[in-house]
Structure 1
Amino acid sequence: MAELLILTPQLPYPPQQGTSLRNYHIIKGLAPRHQITLLSFLEEGQTLDKAAPLQALCRQIVTVPVVQRSIGDRLRQLVTSQLPDMAHRLYTPVFAEQLRELLQQNSFDVVQIEGIELVRYMAIVREVSPQSRLVFDDHNVETELQRRNFWVDVCRPHRWVAALYSAVQMGRLGRFEQWACEMADAVTTVSEADREQLGGLFPELVTPITAVPNCIDITFYEPSSLPETADLPRYDLVFIGKMDYRPNIDAVRWFAEAVWPQVLAVRPETTWAIVGQKPHPAVIRLGEQSGITVTGWVEDIRPYLLGAEVFIMPFRVGSGTRLKLIEALAAGKAIVSTRVGAEGFPIRDGQDLVLADSAEEMATAVLHLLHNTEARTRLGENGRILARRYDWREIIPLFDDIYRSIGVFA
């Protein structure tokens, strides 16, 4: 049994979106074999009082409220610092001091950093607890993500400011991400595709990189997980995600501008729900269009997922793998996705889901599935089979192998 200290960017409970889903299942999977201390930021509205299942898995949980940065702070840091914006996002003296105290009071075998926003704290671990092994769980290849953002935005004049931001961040993120990988004893990514991208970006890196895929509890998304009397909201199309996240915003805006009019032209009664917390003003405005509903935060996404006819993933930018895809597969939904949306998964086009990159291809695929119950059923059945490979019980033990490889014997 090893002593683990895990750092997370937000309290991983309730596990309702990508980062918290991954982190919660990491903790849940490791807790039976290791002693876990959790040091986490606490976002607005989060409280330990409502996180009893998480508390039961951890020996100790220490939280620090997120400090919101103003636009002025970000502009000043952009000009005066050579670090990328993400390096400043969650770096606070209070969190640093809490980390120092935990390291001084305990002897941790492993300190695991969940996400690039927290890697500046690696220097403190090396200083205070040099015997601890450092594992950097890189949820996205952020340098590659910014490169993709740049090429999407530079083609649209009204997005040139965003493209300029990405151009500045690419170089800074490249240096920062490389530093983090070199500082760590082991690096993990969420897919083989990300592992290859990271290795390609930093070919001289000697730190071992291992893919530990994103995972969920697939039983949680099966139709039987809800009461038979549950009233499911019925929408033809559903998109689910954290709606202040740049790739999600771009996905729904592109679908609304380029695909949605084609769908309505053929099937004007079609309905579409955009489900997820913190919708950006540009997303909220989409709710003014015919047939589109923007829900904002919902307590449970499963009714929307299970009540949908087709699940859409119209991503043009992104990195890592999208947990929402595994959720939709586990729920037995017919899925239409771009190749970026399905990146990192061994997808069989036309069998597990339908791949469509252009607006015309996506509109055609969506309309075909809305008119074809048999095709939706077939895709859903195949999707459930694929989802079984991404159950947390299958994936999380990979971390034990990584710990052993860096000299930590459980």
Structure 2
Amino acid sequence: MKILQISPQISFPPDSGGRLSIYGITKSLAERGHKVTFVCYTNKPISESTINELKKICNPVFIEWKINNSIKTAVQNLFSKVPYNISKYYSKKLKIFLIDYLKHNAVDVVHVDHLHMAWIIDIIRKVSNVPVILREHNLEMKIMERYSEDQSNILFKYYSKLQFKKFLLYEPDQCRKFNRCLMVSKEDEKSLLNLNPNIKTKVIPIGVDKKIFSWHKSEDIPFSIFHLGALDWQPNYDGLSWILNEVFPKVVDVHPNSKLYVYGRGGDRLNISNNIKNNVIIKGYVENIWDEVKDKQILLVPLRVGSGMRVKIIEMLGAGYLIISTSIGKEGIDVTDGKHIFIADNSETFVKKIMDIFEKRIDAESVTKSARNIIKQKYDWENIAADLETEYLNSINEINIKA
């Protein structure tokens, strides 16, 4: 098939959950013999090495674009039906490109990543009857709802609640326009269909590269914990701040040699109290995360706001790591507390789970082996690409029958 994939961000290097999930789709479809034209926004020059890497799996097209975050645009959005986080992604350049491309090129399917790019469905429908598939990597309304509930600032709370109400109308209304909405979790699918049961959905999870299943860790640094994730994404910042304030100090009180390694851009935003300052190592963005974490003991995923699936969880479980996560962080992943992963939704439970691992009160080898097996069975990109292909073909056939 000839597939036109539209993304709000470049997917290489695949160094974050968002990039990994988009890159995995492109790469796995290419490996099945499909021709993918990958169109994405970019706000800075792209290196030749990145372009060459993308050319191995697709025909990359870059649309220059700059996100407009300002108080003025946020206030102006009060009078719009479109959520603020969505309105920032409209691009006249992309509109012109799409119209021209669809007029002059044969396309079997258009694949759209993220609700932020869903506005293009109205442009496409004016020039083509091609099937258009929306990949909902997250359910944006759910993220905004949880974010508004967690706000203490009165103005932010009011504004985020207003945005949530906009999403309640906008998200299902946009999704119904697509031939398929591919959800990453049953939880997200249920929430969307509760608002409009006529939306055509299919749950297809995010995958992992099979190379991960042969990854071998080094010997663990005793009492080592790590956190992965860009801290300029507010849910990551919120979760790690909670750990630093409510969890890690209690761990250090019992095990003074404990270390918390923080990976991902934006670490300079963190406020770290003096009593744990020497125990927190801010590593920031690193080129090769696997080299960095090969000797670390426990991954924490303290997400309290979010939706979709956490790519880092399925990757790290597949690679043989012990993980402690909130229920929200684990959403959409078919793993069991105590058997494959450890779930903690309050500070006391987080501390206890960390202590249980540090003090060897759990069978770490059994847990990591079970986790690795279930990820291998259910989240291999090769199988997921086959499911994507099936949904594309079903959409094409439905249009052909109607014609």
Identify if the C-alpha distance between structure 1 residues 282 and 235 changes in structure 2 by more than 3 Å, giving closer, same or farther. farther
- The question of 1:40 aligning with 2:28 is answered no
User: Does the 8 A contact of 2:247 with 2:347 survive in 1?
Assistant: yes
Deviates more, 1:317-326 or 1:98-107: 98-107
Q: Which secondary structure does the structure 2 equivalent of 1:290 belong to?
A: helix
Partner of 1:14: 13
CA distance in structure 1 between the partners assigned to 2:321 and 2:350 by the alignment: 16
- The question of 1:184 aligning with 2:184 is answered no
User: Does the 8 A contact of 1:213 with 1:390 survive in 2?
Assistant: yes
State the Cα distance separating 1:295 from its structure 2 match.
1.7
Partner of 1:264: 252
Question: Structure 2: which amino acid aligns with 1:260?
Answer: F
State the Cα distance separating 1:64 from its structure 2 match.
1.4
Question: Structure 2: which amino acid aligns with 1:368?
Answer: D
State the Cα distance separating 1:47 from its structure 2 match.
3.3
Question: Structure 2: which amino acid aligns with 1:164?
Answer: Y
State the Cα distance separating 1:125 from its structure 2 match.
0.7
State the Cα distance separating 1:284 from its structure 2 match.
6.5
Partner of 1:399: 388
User: Does the 8 A contact of 2:335 with 2:371 survive in 1?
Assistant: no
Identify if the C-alpha distance between structure 1 residues 361 and 194 changes in structure 2 by more than 3 Å, giving closer, same or farther. same
User: Does the 8 A contact of 2:356 with 2:362 survive in 1?
Assistant: no
State the Cα distance separating 1:73 from its structure 2 match.
4.5
Identify if the C-alpha distance between structure 1 residues 77 and 49 changes in structure 2 by more than 3 Å, giving closer, same or farther. farther
Identify if the C-alpha distance between structure 1 residues 43 and 92 changes in structure 2 by more than 3 Å, giving closer, same or farther. same
Deviates more, 1:301-310 or 1:231-240: 231-240
Question: Structure 2: which amino acid aligns with 1:132?
Answer: V
- The question of 1:355 aligning with 2:343 is answered yes
Q: Which secondary structure does the structure 1 equivalent of 2:119 belong to?
A: helix
Question: Structure 2: which amino acid aligns with 1:376?
Answer: A
- The question of 1:54 aligning with 2:43 is answered no
- The question of 1:319 aligning with 2:317 is answered no
Q: Which runs of 5+ in 2 are unaligned?
A: 399-403
Deviations 1:231-258 (A, max 9, x none): 9988700110122111111110111111
Q: How does 1:148-167 map to 2 (within 5 A)?
A: 148-153=146-151, 156=152, 159-167=153-161
CA distance in structure 1 between the partners assigned to 2:46 and 2:320 by the alignment: 31
Partner of 1:207: 199
Q: Which runs of 5+ in 1 are unaligned?
A: none
CA distance in structure 1 between the partners assigned to 2:293 and 2:189 by the alignment: 30
Deviations 1:116-144 (A, max 9, x none): 11111111111122x21110111111111
State the Cα distance separating 1:221 from its structure 2 match.
6.3
User: Does the 8 A contact of 2:223 with 2:358 survive in 1?
Assistant: no
Q: How does 1:319-398 map to 2 (within 5 A)?
A: 319-372=307-360, 375-388=363-376, 389-398=378-387
CA distance in structure 2 between the partners assigned to 1:165 and 1:369 by the alignment: 41
Partner of 2:22: 23
CA distance in structure 1 between the partners assigned to 2:345 and 2:46 by the alignment: 37
Deviations 1:159-183 (A, max 9, x none): 3333222201111112211121111
Q: Which secondary structure does the structure 1 equivalent of 2:270 belong to?
A: helix
CA distance in structure 1 between the partners assigned to 2:338 and 2:16 by the alignment: 27
State the Cα distance separating 1:115 from its structure 2 match.
0.3
RMSD: 2.4
TM-score (norm 1): 0.90
CA distance in structure 2 between the partners assigned to 1:22 and 1:401 by the alignment: 18
Deviations 1:272-330 (A, max 9, x none): 01111244x53375798231122221101112332211111111111001001011101
CA distance in structure 1 between the partners assigned to 2:2 and 2:306 by the alignment: 34
Identify if the C-alpha distance between structure 1 residues 304 and 367 changes in structure 2 by more than 3 Å, giving closer, same or farther. farther
CA distance in structure 2 between the partners assigned to 1:293 and 1:363 by the alignment: 19
Question: Structure 2: which amino acid aligns with 1:404?
Answer: L
CA distance in structure 2 between the partners assigned to 1:202 and 1:290 by the alignment: 51
User: Does the 8 A contact of 1:43 with 1:66 survive in 2?
Assistant: yes
Of the candidates 183, 187, 209, which is equivalent to residue 217 of structure 1?
Answer: 209
User: Does the 8 A contact of 2:74 with 2:84 survive in 1?
Assistant: no
CA distance in structure 2 between the partners assigned to 1:76 and 1:265 by the alignment: 46
The percentage of aligned residue pairs carrying the same residue is: 24
TM-score (norm 2): 0.91
